[in-house]
């Protein structure tokens, strides 16, 4: 466990204290940072895979109506042995 010094606006610190109290600051800030890091990781993954299903190999994903028809067909196939 490492220690660090964090500078933030007074109103943000007061809001945190209002939610968790002075004794809960560290845990609250760590959890908030972890959530932000997870969101950033997800955004990176989404950007890096954008458009991966485009093209001739996936015509059933070309638009919403094609996707809906593909899902309906899959569900119909699952019900009918």
Write out pLDDT tens, residues 4-57: 999 999 999 999 999 999 999 999 999 999 999 999 999 999 999 888 877 678
Q: Is residue 1 part of a domain?
A: no
Regarding whether 42 and 59 lie in a shared domain, the answer is no
Regarding whether 60 and 42 lie in a shared domain, the answer is no
| Number of CB atoms found within 10 A of residue 60's CB | 15
Which of the four pLDDT bands, split at 50, 70 and 90, describes residue 76?
confident
* Inter-axis angle of helices 25-49 and 10-20, nearest 10: 110
At residue 80, the pLDDT reads 61
Residue 17 CA to its chain's centroid (Å): 26
Regarding whether 14 and 40 lie in a shared domain, the answer is yes
Regarding whether 40 and 57 lie in a shared domain, the answer is no
Q: Is residue 4 part of a domain?
A: no
- Inter-CA distances, 50 with 46, 47, 54, 63, Å: 6, 5, 9, 15
The more confidently predicted of residues 15 and 60 is 15
Regarding whether 43 and 69 lie in a shared domain, the answer is no
How many independent structural domains does the chain possess? 2
Q: Which domain holds residue 27?
A: 10-49
């Amino acid at each position: 466990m490492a220690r660090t010094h964090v500078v933030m606006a007074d109103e943000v610190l007061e809001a945190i204290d209002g939610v968790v109290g002075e004794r809960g600051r560290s845990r609250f800030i760590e959890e908030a940072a972890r959530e932000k890091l997870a969101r950033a990781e997800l955004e990176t993954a989404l950007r890096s895979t954008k458009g991966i299903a485009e093209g001739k190999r996936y015509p059933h994903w070309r638009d919403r109506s094609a996707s809906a028809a593909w899902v309906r067909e899959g569900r119909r196939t699952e019900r009918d042995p």
